[in-house]
Structure 1
Amino acid sequence: MTRDAGLEELIDGELEGVRGLSNKAMFGGWAWLLNGNLLFGARDAGLLVRLGKDRDDWALRVPGIERAIMRGRAMQGWVRVSPETCGDDALRGRLVRAALDFVGSLPPKR
């Protein structure tokens, strides 16, 4: 897996002006953190989005979005969004807002 500069640019545009953001290389791609908590991960296989447990049902009904699997384990509250689905501006915006709402509710990590 490699980084996807186009997807990173789309996410950066969605996050413009959000305070408390940082980013770094992670998971073979690029990750965004809000107050130290993981928010998104992007790579050529698409976008990893943290929506929160019991907050992801709506997203899982969208074609091109599925539950994230890590080391063979389904991750509650995390979804993977295909690269094609990330191209839908309205949907991407909704995912970003939902992730910011959830991760913004978590205590900051130091």
Structure 2
Amino acid sequence: MPGVPVRGTMARMAYDEVLAQRVREIVGGDPDVTERKMFGGLGFMFGGSMGVAAASRGALMVRVDPEESEALTARAGVERMEMKGRSMAGWLLVDQSVLEGDAALEEWVERGADFARSLPPKE
């Protein structure tokens, strides 16, 4: 079914606009943040590197330190992304149920933003 996350893979469908707006409210006003459509979602770039993306059905794609992937996926509602059938360390999919509260969403957005900002700036 289009737009339904299946084992960490996003089928093609528009991103969740409500989630995107919630992310904008968290990062709003930061001149270092840009938005770009990618991976079938809306990516939020920090210094040119993607930190988080609003996916479909309220899921959030979060970029983290690959060495933290295993520990983070032990949390309920968090799994590694699969791209072209391959599990991607450092790329997580956080289920909508985890993101219901603003504090939880802010935690994941900050985690993705911090990692993206730790990467060399892109021109």
Normalising by structure 1, we get a TM-score of 0.88
| CA gap 1:34/1:13 in 2 versus in 1, 3 angstroms | same
Larger proportion of strand: 1
Q: Deviations over 1:19-45 (max 9, x none)?
A: 311112111221111111111121214
How many angstroms does 1:65 deviate by? 0.9
Larger proportion of helix: 2
Matched to 1:21, the amino acid is V
Alpha carbons 2:45, 2:51 under 8 Å: kept: yes
* 2:40 matches 1:25: no
Name the % identity. 30
Distance 1:57 1:15 in 2: 27
Query: Residue in 2 aligned with 1:37?
Result: 49
Gaps in structure 1 of 5+ consecutive residues: none
* 2:90 matches 1:77: yes
C-alpha RMSD of matched pairs (Å): 1.5
Q: Deviations over 1:42-98 (max 9, x none)?
A: 121411100121123443122111111111111111110112222132222211222
Matched to 2:115, the amino acid is F
